[in-house]
Chain A
Amino acid sequence: MGLEVYFTILSQPSRAVLMFLESNAIPYTRKALDLRKGENRTEDYSRINPMMKVPAISDDGFNLTESVAILKYLANKYTVADHWYPKDIRKRAKVDEYLAWHHTNTRPACASLFFNEVLLPARTKQPADTVVVQSALTQIKNALDKLETMFLKDSRFLCGDEISIADLLAICEVMQTLGTGRNVTDNHSKVKSWMERVQNQMNPFFDEVHVPINKIRQKRLQAANTSKL
């Protein structure tokens, strides 16, 4: 059986888990789920994850949901470099601190923008709700301001001078906003440099998992350019 990973490539936390597995050469089986076809709502999957969300893992029968829990479990189980989730209790606490803050800041802001500007209009064939989109953009700016002035103030990565699981989760959220065609990081130079650093460290897996979101971005930019002509 081994380690099975249930995911969808347009899910930000799914991508973070996949990148971690690939870059640490942890053997696993991919189980892609098509959410539009309701593959996360089957009885079989609800046994793995009663919340019916992605990502989830099944490790020789041990089922686990929530990307933060999954990444910590994998870092604890496999012999990975210490910087991913340091054993030193202060360094570890700083990663835990970002990860807690992430749930109520980076993640909901970025997820809301993509959902309300891309996913929902595609599903309902209605135009995006501009009030909700503006609210998401404000939340994103606030989150990026904190990344710029706090987490990345004096360090190369979010929780120190080496990459950790915090950076993987954060960057996937910011990448999701690029799928709208927008450039949310234009006024955040530290965030931009940080993104390049993470990308360089995680390639070729970074580029691989972000192909679909980049395709969506290209389509939207082309459509915007076409409508201007």
Chain B
Amino acid sequence: MVLTVYFDMLSQPSRSVLLFCEVNKIPYEKKVTHVGGGDNRTEEFQAINPVMRVPAIKDGDFVLSESAAILKYLAAKHNTPDHWYPKDIQKRAKVDQYVAWHHMNTRENSIRVFWTEVIIPMMRGREVDQARLERQLPALEETIDRLEQVYLKDQQFLCGDDITIADILAVPELMQLYGAGRNVTENHPKLTAWIERVKNKLQPWFDEFHTPLYKMRQKRLKGEKAKL
């Protein structure tokens, strides 16, 4: 049974799914689905995911969307090491708790700022709407504070002292902002240390899959300097 992963490398949850497959040596086929090019709007892709978002998987005849659901399914199907999504119901509940909170906090607030700073100016050929950015930044700051003061308060990773699917979902979201040229970890030593820990567990694929964002950051930082 072949597992196909439909992804766009600029999609944070796509990277989470790819990283999980690589680090757990889950055999899969990559299917690049370039959202900017409308690959997600083809009839073929709609049959896989009617919601037309990435990532999505096709495992034999079984299709599934939503990175949180995909990660949990792959963990169960491939019997990955327990720490990713523990069988103990209390430890598992802590992972479910972060993953639920993630959608409208880490993901939502990162994506809003990324769209304002990168996507909308690119799409509309305009400068960044600074007023809009100023309105959105406090929510992002609050999310980062919560990550540090609640989830990372007394532990090495978001849900305990070992990496879980929670960390693999969260870090790519913050990396997206890094790609935008934003220094989210500045003045946040706990966040910085945690991101390093997660990166180390996911190399060499972490750097490989984040290369487009590293390149984006270099370009954007140079662009800023050029203006000065």
Contacts and interface: CB of A to CB of B under 8 A. Distances in A.
A93 B69 CA distance: 6
B39 interface: no
A68 B100 contact: yes
Nearest to B73: A93
A100 interface: yes
Contacts of B67: 100
A61 to B, nearest CB: 10
Contacts of B108: 104
Contacts of B90: 62, 73
A182 interface: no
B97 interface: yes
Given A62-B90, A103-B104, A104-B103, A93 B96 contact: no
Nearest to B57: A93
Interface string B91-103: 0111011011101
Nearest to A103: B103
Interface string B146-173: 1001100000000000000000000000
B174 to A, nearest CB: 18
A65 B93 CA distance: 9
Contacts of B100: 66-69, 99, 103
B104 A69 contact: no
Contacts of A228: none
Interface string B66-82: 11111011001100000
Contact of A64 (B51, B64, B97, B103): B97
A107 B108 CA distance: 14
Nearest to B97: A69
**Which range holds the interface residue count of chain A?**
20 to 34
Contacts of A150: 50-51
A192 B41 CA distance: 29
A178 B1 CA distance: 46
A96 B99 CA distance: 11
A100 B107 CA distance: 12
A69 B103 CA distance: 13
A107 B104 CA distance: 10
A65 B94 CA distance: 9
Contacts of A92: 72-73, 76
Question: In the complex, which of the residues B50, B66, B67, B108 has the most CB atoms of chain A within 10 Å of its own CB atom?
Answer: B66
B65 A73 contact: no
B97 A66 contact: yes
A103 B104 CA distance: 7
A98 to B, nearest CB: 8
A39 interface: no
Contacts of A104: 103-104, 108
A64 B89 CA distance: 12
A108 to B, nearest CB: 7
Contacts of B96: 66, 68-69, 72-73
A62 B77 CA distance: 28
A76 B89 contact: yes
A219 B92 CA distance: 43
Interface in B23-54: 50-51
Interface in A50-71: 50-51, 62, 64-70
A72 B86 CA distance: 13
Given A69-B100, A104-B108, A89 B50 contact: no
B66 A97 contact: yes
A146 B50 CA distance: 9
A149 B50 CA distance: 9
A93 B103 CA distance: 17
Q: Which 5 A-B pairs have the closest CB atoms?
A: A96-B69, A69-B96, A103-B103, A100-B66, A66-B100
14 contacts: A66-B96, A69-B97, A69-B99, A73-B93, A90-B62, A92-B73, A92-B76, A93-B64, A96-B66, A96-B69, A96-B72, A96-B73, A99-B69, A108-B104
Given A62-B93, A66-B97, A100-B66, 10 more contacts: A66-B100, A67-B100, A68-B100, A69-B96, A92-B72, A94-B69, A99-B68, A100-B68, A104-B104, A108-B104
